[in-house]
Amino acid sequence: MDIETTEENWDKRPISNTVGNVQTFGINAVTIWDSNPYFFLFSDIDSKELEKLVKVLMVYKHKSLSVYFYETTKGWHVVSPVLLGLRKWIGLTNQLRKLLPDYSFDTIRYSKRYTDGKKLYFEEWNSRLPESYNLHYHIRYKFQYGFNEILEHWVSTKIQWSTYNQLRIIKKCHYGL
């Protein structure tokens, strides 16, 4: 969290917190390819428990979905570039909802935070479904992760971006010189 310091008023005001919103940039789960809608599967894990991350990754692996995953301030983001039809996407989100009951699966944060992890992990578990080159590109660009391999299932899709507000608490600390 950011801490805002107010100088030379330590004896005039107590420590306080300010609540506000921060605007965030995200990627939506829907995409278009060949004039048809498809969906990306995202997971936002608000826990640092590795057991929870492994359970979520096993859902992706069991369904043969390639994934990127990286550490965030509160946990992990898991992003699959595989193009899923609506019914398959709904089925997988219902399955993941048992592990992540508070997540809506419609948008994943793209904006960087200085407290996010710096490493990007990739598992190529897909062998048959098309994957979005554009999502691969944007995730790899965010982490400055190169393109050393050529995957045969990549297709060009349109990425849907969104902006939304997230609650932010700014702690204020007062001290004197």
Q: Where are the alpha helices (DSSP H) in the chain?
A: 50-62, 86-97, 133-143
Whether 58 shows a pLDDT value over 80: the answer reads yes
CB 119 within 8 A of CB 36: no
- Mark 142-170 as b/e (b = at least 16 C-beta within 10 Å): ebebeeeeeeebbeebebeeeeeeeeeee
Q: Read off the pLDDT of residues 78-134 as tens digits, 9 standing for 90 and up.
A: 999 999 999 999 999 999 999 999 999 999 999 998 889 999 999 999 989 999 999
Average of per-residue pLDDT values in the chain: 87
Q: How far apart are CA 73 and CA 86, in angstroms?
A: 30
Instruction: Name the token pair of 137.
Output: 């590109």
Give the residue extent of every domain in the chain: 25-166
